[in-house]
Amino acid sequence: MTAPSNSLPLARLLGLTADAVQGVLAGKSLNELLARLPNDARPGVQALTFHVLRWWGGAHEVRAALAPKTPPPNVDALLTTSLALLWPLPDPPYPDHTLVDQAVAAARQRMPAAAAFINAVLRRFIRERDTQVAAARLQPLGAFNHPLWWIERIKRDWPQHWHALLTAANEHPPMTLRINVRRGTAAAYQQRLAMQGRASSLIDTPELGGSALVLAQPCPVTQLPGFAEGDVSVQDAAAQRAAPLLLGAGLPAGARVLDACAAPGGKTAHLLERADLQLLALDSDPTRLMRVSDTLGRLQLRAELKVGDARHPSAWWDGRPFDAILLDAPCSASGIVRRHPDIRWLRRADDISALARIQTEMLDALWPLLRPGGRLLFATCSLFKAEGEQQIDAFLQRVGAGRAVLNPASPGHLLPLPDNLLEAAPGRGRSLQDGFFYALIDKPAD
């Protein structure tokens, strides 16, 4: 990790990062915590917090070994934050002496009585780093940096891939672009990037239709040529498969399509970029639905937006059947933890069954809204089979043989592994896609 460029003193950044880590471990959304920060602090704190949460399991095990009596939460948060930033990696964010000096400075500003304690623990860790890290990695939490219940579920669902999946979740994700095919081609946009000195690679796979590029180095979206004008969007390669799957060989012009959980609008926009549709974008959260409106406005696309719960169509449906439905259902987001490392520490084991029940209710409520001969695409950004394969198996059994048919084009679970479906970018040894599940279900014509 390269140290974030920021005008704030590192001691201040460390203190704010420790606050964010403490908040996440207490069950608060990292996005909400970051939104409360001053604008000049937010980028640096986000970068450091992401790093800490990727390695918090190991840092916690080391803290427990070096200080068996758990310190007060604010002291523990600053200490584990500092230990995670001292974790042995090829590209450490700061030199050891700088990190320790600034962590102690942060302690003196925030918790003076703990400054000497934090200084002693950090310096001991540096002296004994190899031994302490090796011992921490003997424990599942320290080895994989995920909660124990999460590790066990991944083991159970993916006995052949669990180790690789947990390891991959701590890697930095690629920045993948979706070219607006109404405004240009991937080849043309690649040339525009090259003129800026930005290298990119085409993800040349039929599932994405030749409109996806991956950047060699991430950059702020404001630096992408034509972003404000709607020429390009940022969207993971796995998420880009939704629109081509739902559209299939093509829906007739003016087909009625429902995007049942539309926010923040990436898949909504992708559908409209590729086809002329009467699209209803539905979401239960009016604030999040505004993000769909903003996305469509930037891309110069139009859809009907409506606030509503997909589980209760009587409150929003006009009675006219849909030709196609996209249900990108609420889920654990276990497939995108490399992008959002806070998710693993926010989720609880019983969340999975609760989310699966919501998915079941949505499927059962939306299926009658689909016309005979139509198709429904069920999607989750999850690795857990309870939110994918098992969910769809149960749905098909409930509907009954011959009344709902799993389309052969359904990819099922997409695993974020380097050898899975998409070619890895040269020399990176990582997957170009997040973890996803897709099931395309056809409703036979009467």
The residues annotated with a catalytic role in the active site are: 381
Q: How far apart are CA 17 and CA 20, in angstroms?
A: 5
Q: How far apart are CA 368 and CA 363, in angstroms?
A: 9
Task: Give the pLDDT score at 418.
Answer: 76
Task: Give the pLDDT score at 422.
Answer: 46
Angle, vertex CA 331, rays to CA 325 and CA 336, nearest 5? 105
| Closest among 310, 251, 317 to 278, alpha carbons compared | 251
Going from the N-terminus, what domains does the chain have, and what CATH number goes with each? 10-145 (1.10.940.10), 176-234 (3.30.70.1170), 239-442 (3.40.50.150)
Q: What percent of the chain has pLDDT over 70?
A: 96
Angle, vertex CA 142, rays to CA 108 and CA 11, nearest 5? 20
| Closest among 17, 36, 37, 20 to 28, alpha carbons compared | 20
Residue 315 has pLDDT above 80, yes or no: yes
Residue 423 has pLDDT above 70, yes or no: no
Model confidence pTM above 0.85: yes
Tokens coding 302? 């139009």
Task: Give the pLDDT score at 7.
Answer: 66
On whether the CB atoms of residues 344 and 150 are closer than 8 A, the answer is yes
On whether the CB atoms of residues 246 and 327 are closer than 8 A, the answer is no
On whether the CB atoms of residues 380 and 438 are closer than 8 A, the answer is no
Residue 51 has pLDDT above 50, yes or no: yes
Confidence of residue 209 (pLDDT cuts 50, 70, 90): confident
Question: Cα 128 from chain centroid?
Answer: 35
pLDDT tens for each residue of 140-189? 999 999 999 999 999 999 999 999 999 999 999 999 999 999 999 999 99
Strand order in the sheet with 212-215: 200-202, 212-215, 176-179, 232-234
Buried b (16+ CB within 10 A) or exposed e, 243-270: bbbbbeeebeeebbbbbbbbbebbbbbb
Handedness of CA 253, 256, 259, 263 (dihedral sign): positive
On whether the CB atoms of residues 179 and 212 are closer than 8 A, the answer is yes
Task: Give the pLDDT score at 6.
Answer: 59
pLDDT tens for each residue of 2-48? 666 656 899 999 999 999 999 999 999 999 999 999 999 999 999 99
On whether the CB atoms of residues 161 and 91 are closer than 8 A, the answer is no
Helix (H) or strand (E) holding 413: strand 412-414
